[in-house]
Chains A and B, each alone.
Chain A
Amino acid sequence: MSLLMPFLLPIATSLLSVFIKGRLLIGINLISSFTLLALALQLLFEVVSSGPKSLIFGNWPVPYGIEFYADGLSALLIILIALVSAVVMVFMVHWERTSDKSAYFALAQCLVASAIAVSLAADLFNLYVWFELMLIAVLGLMVLGKGRQQTEAALKYFAVSMLGTLIMLSAIGMIHGAVGHLNFSALAELAASEDTGHYLTLYGGMLLLALLLKIGAFPLFAWLPAAYHALPAPLLALVGGLLTKISVYVLMRISGQVLDYQLYHEAIGWLAVITMLSGVLGAAYHWDLRRILSFHIVSQVGFLLLGVALASPAGMTGTAFFLFHNILVKANLFLIAGLIWMTAGHYDLRKIGGLYPARPLLSVIFLLSALSLVGVPPTSGFWGKLLIIMETFTQEKYLWAAAALITSMLTLYSMSKIWLEGFWKPHPGQLVSLVIPKSTYMVMLIMSVLILMMGLMPGPLIDLLQLQQWQQGGAL
């Protein structure tokens, strides 16, 4: 039951939100988000103390039923989803002044529910259904903006994601046709055996293609910066902070634990190198804050893919650490972008400035997150990058390591651009200075403290992740 509750709570809240409005709506959503956080912590506690949990619906025997499965990794991911959703809910209370507030909350909760279900799903078709639900929720959030930019972004996002899910569905159909199983643990066994292994390499490759499209890997990332920046900033934190990372998590599971083929790892590694370089170069070119941060998603995802490609327990531990760090930092940066917009009146760096004298606290929070994204030592990003790059050296993939280091340098360049243009130079016009509610500062401070804690005390989290069974079929 503790496995199902983190999913049921947001989906119930989502349905309820459609019918209520005003203070009740906000109250229920806030309570639900913080309860979700507590439930997620409880799930982690249970998983750590008594081992992975599994729930099979309808009492079917193991490889046949629809299965939800949680180990340390998924429990941690659910905690982060819950955390980001709680923060975004607090933010949204003050942000949205439109009449369809119920719809925003309902769709945001629906997105959270499907993200949690994706991290729990332990069979391919289940995974596909939750991916579709996630797609529907994001599309809904996009078109609620109603502007030209929003509908157009939604159309592009729809076309690309739909193609991805169709590829995924055909891959699932072929895998089921070839081996008759969709459950992760059954597939992991079949992938290792001689008879069925070669079918699975082919069809699994198709599945990987669909996932890479959703992740925004190299040739297929153009949709991401074009679609994401049409969302208002707090929702962008939810969508941009979570969506691609959830797909990376699924890729980690599939290429690491289910279909563990050397061929895949090699391909993912080279894609990762091109992805991180092209992402960061795109970010260096742009001036719109949301666009810069969206391109950074692409480049960070490249780092994650690099870790996935290393496919060793040490590499996977690094990837997982980096994944959690990245969700926190990215969400925080998007929220900061929202506050910058509220204070300075624009997302375009050329039209804003003077934030450091006007908002010192915001500047410090931004600096912390930005340095963490770059990977400067006392922050969380340092450890994630260190673990991944150390493993590339162990495996003697020096080119990959070089690309990762160059990417970090360029990230520093693009973050200092935001700092110099947005915070340091005087504002070319007038600061708008809408009143920034204290509660938004509070939640961002909490996020920043977490980022700092992850940097100063990475030990407990790394230890927890090292307990994870990373090898083929491990713990599934």
Chain B
Amino acid sequence: MSLILITVISICVSSGILLLLSREVFKMIMGLAVLGTAANLVVFTGGRPGSLVPAVIEQGSQTLMTNAASPLPQALVLTAIVIGFALLCFALILAAAVANQQDNSDVASYRENEPSGNAKAQSDKPSVMEIES
């Protein structure tokens, strides 16, 4: 079981990094999502996966049965999945907004905040909010 999980994790990490290095903004976000899955699986693998013994403490006993799966990493993963999913939704909308505003989805062309050389002076436009006030 661990071996399968480790194989899956390594595939996820490598494809995640490959996608993350892409200049296409949506591929980059997807890369982060895949890496997130890998991280979740890492946490999950730490919890003795594959065991069929239920993680229930029997009546009168103080400890878990031997070889039972640890429930804690599963709880941790659940929390991490929820947070990761919320962030992924947000990131996709954000990426769409950026790609719309800048009229292309090439990450390397987003130089609004890090202008090179002489373009610097023009880029310090006040934000929408500043104009209003």
Name A's B-contacting residues (CB within 8 A).
Answer: 95-98, 125, 128-129, 132, 135-136, 139, 143-156, 158-159, 162-163, 166-167, 169-170, 172-174, 176-178, 180, 222, 226-227, 229-230, 232, 287-288, 341, 346-348, 350, 434
Contact = CB atoms under 8 A, between A and B. Distances in A.
A434 B131 CA distance: 13
Given A163-B32, A166-B35, A170-B39, A229 B73 contact: no
A288 B124 CA distance: 8
A4 to B, nearest CB: 19
Contacts of A173: 39, 42-46, 73, 76
A149 B113 contact: yes
20 contacts: A96-B129, A96-B133, A136-B86, A146-B128, A147-B125, A148-B102, A148-B112, A149-B125, A152-B101, A158-B87, A166-B39, A169-B40, A170-B43, A173-B46, A177-B43, A177-B73, A180-B70, A222-B114, A346-B124, A347-B124
B128 A147 contact: yes
Interface residues of B, number: 48
A159 B28 contact: yes
A155 B110 contact: yes
Interface in B17-62: 20, 25, 28-29, 32, 35-36, 38-40, 42-47
A155 B94 contact: yes
Contact of A159 (B32, B45, B97, B114): B32
A287 B20 CA distance: 32
B115 to A, nearest CB: 10
Contact of A172 (B43, B83, B94, B121): B43
B90 A136 contact: yes
Contacts of A166: 32, 35-36, 38-39
Contacts of B128: 145-147
Contacts of A178: 46
A152 B105 CA distance: 11
Given A148-B102, A159-B32, A170-B42, A176 B72 contact: yes
Contacts of A222: 114
